[in-house]
Structure 1
Amino acid sequence: MFKKILVAEDLKGINEGIVSFLNENLKIEKLELVQYCDDAYLKYKKAILDQEPYDLLITDLSFEGDYREQKITSGDNLAMKIREEDTNTKIIVYSVEKRFSKIRKLIQDIGLNGYVCKGRTGLDELLICIKEVYKGEIYLSPEVRPALTRKDITELSNFDIEILKHLSEGHIQKDIARLMFTSTSSVEKRLNALKIVFRAKNTTHLVSIIKDLGLI
């Protein structure tokens, strides 16, 4: 299981509730909480410098402003900054946001590993999500899974096809990024989104599905 998790949630009651619930159900060596995105980013940077990086970030999307001036004002901006610098830290969003277009954009732009909707069963789903993400899977709450469905097949770009072709030839993500003159982060984001679209368990499964569909 993940050894070190950072939870970013501005509402103290929810924040502490998440930490308490996860402590009861998972064996996490270090579980930290913050109420501001700036604080989350500072903790993340310090952990990198200390060579003790976080394995997982759980963040809300909406953070209400108060007397403190903040440079990073939303969970999606926080996730984006962390993903731009690091492709290893897993990121789960825990939010009331259910707009498909918003969630689709987050997955495609950031390469989220999980998205859980707050609600009556939210914490139970969050627990499932963490376990799935730890196994290398991608998890979305059932009510927002249609945000990315197979109808998006027609939206496969030349960039997507090229990534998949390189992957089918046995290249790893780092090599694909070099061959395509792009970043490893960009490659990972697209693969994460495509795994959700095609409900693939991993990249090998994804390539198999794409080949069966005759797309490469």
Structure 2
Amino acid sequence: MNYEILIVDDLPIIVDGYINLLSKTDFQENKPNFIKSHNCEDAYNKIFLNLKRKVNINLALLEASLPPYKEFNINSGVDLALLIREKFTDCKIIILTMHSEPLTVDRIIKKVEPEGFFSKNDITSESFPSIFKKIIDGNIYQSKTIIESQRELFKKNINWDNYDNEILILISQGVKTINLPNYIPLSMSAIEKRKANIKDQLLKGKGSDKDLVSKAKKIGLL
């Protein structure tokens, strides 16, 4: 029986590296079948091809930052993960990233709830196959850098939900407040209240969006 594994990274050499590492894993009676992809559009098409063929994807390894598929609003590996969660409910998802900013890490954990979450800097050829085996056996795993990032958020006594994280991240990317409802399913008044709460915590209520982003970067949230 095949164990279908989708691997998505924009660098082909990285995808091949993961395949080499995963080939060392004991799949018991299952035979791994690797589905390779390098961007959101191609991955989207392969996900729906598997759906059409009625072939489950058992596990997905997704780089968090990927070339987007604008036509269907799939802008990252996180969006792919949410699509896979919807279409293949039993699929185990592993997110891989070079980012360690506390808000970005917290956003991914709350949004996707991945079975595995790795900083690419933490991956070694010696440890990855055994960790991967634990994940396919039903365990949850977060690498050292990801755990440390969450501790930083806890130390700063920041307890926002995912919408709050999204608001601050989008503002830092240059999205104007008036356009935030295009990205977040909340009313403008709800967004304004949340934004005011964020400013209260970081700026004691006073300051511009530029000041807010600057403060968040200064204390290591972004």
Shorter-chain-normalised TM-score: which range?
0.5 to 0.7
Q: Deviations over 1:154-185 (max 9, x none)?
A: 9699xxxxxxxxxxxxxxxxxxxxxxxxxxxx
- TM-score with structure 1 length normalisation? 0.60
**Letter of the structure 1 residue corresponding to residue 93 of structure 2:** I
Query: What SS does the aligned partner of 1:33 have?
Result: strand
For residue 19 of structure 1, what is the aligned residue in structure 2? 19
- The alpha carbon displacement at 1:138 in A equals 0.8
1:113 is aligned to 2:115: yes
- Unaligned residue ranges in structure 1 (runs of 5+): 158-216
Residues 115 and 140, structure 2, Cα contact 8 Å, conserved in 1: yes
Which has the greater radius of gyration? 2
Deviating 4+ runs (over 3 angstroms): 24-28, 68-71, 120-126, 146-157
- The alpha carbon displacement at 1:127 in A equals 2.4
Distance 1:85 1:148 in 2: 29
Q: 1:122 and 1:103, CA in 2 relative to 1: closer, same or farther beyond 3 A?
A: farther
Residues 2 and 56, structure 1, Cα contact 8 Å, conserved in 2: no
- Unaligned residue ranges in structure 2 (runs of 5+): 162-222
Query: Aligned residues, how many?
Result: 155
Distance 1:2 1:132 in 2: 19
**Letter of the structure 2 residue corresponding to residue 119 of structure 1:** N
Q: Structure 2 residue aligned with 1:63, among 55, 63, 66?
A: 66
Identity of aligned residues (%): 23
- The alpha carbon displacement at 1:24 in A equals 3.5
Alignment of 1:1-216 (within 5 A): 3-27=3-27, 28-64=31-67, 71=72, 72-119=74-121, 121-148=123-150
- TM-score with structure 2 length normalisation? 0.59
- The alpha carbon displacement at 1:7 in A equals 0.2
**Letter of the structure 2 residue corresponding to residue 6 of structure 1:** L
- The alpha carbon displacement at 1:10 in A equals 0.8
Query: What SS does the aligned partner of 1:29 have?
Result: strand
